[in-house]
Amino acid sequence: MTSRPIAEDLSLSDALVTEFPSVESLSISYLQSTPGDGYPGTSVSWDPSKGDRLECLNTACLKGGVAIAALLSPIVATAQSKAVRKKPCSGQERMTNGEFRPCANVFMIAVELRYVAS
Ligand SMILES: [Zn+2]
* Maximum mean pLDDT: which of 39-43, 53-57, 102-106: 102-106
Distance in Å, CA 62 to ligand 1 centroid: 7
Contact 111, 85 (CB under 8 A): yes
The stretch 90-107 carries a mean pLDDT of 90
pLDDT the model gives residue 57? 81
Burial (CB count <10 Å: 0-12, 13-18, 19+), residue 29? middle
For residues 54 and 43, the model is more confident at: 54
Q: How much is the mean pLDDT over the chain? A: 77
Predicted model pTM = 0.73
For residues 47 and 6, the model is more confident at: 47
Contact 58, 34 (CB under 8 A): yes
The stretch 15-24 carries a mean pLDDT of 82
Distance in Å, CA 51 to ligand 1 centroid: 16
Distance in Å, CA 116 to ligand 1 centroid: 33
In DSSP terms, 94 is beta-bridged to 100
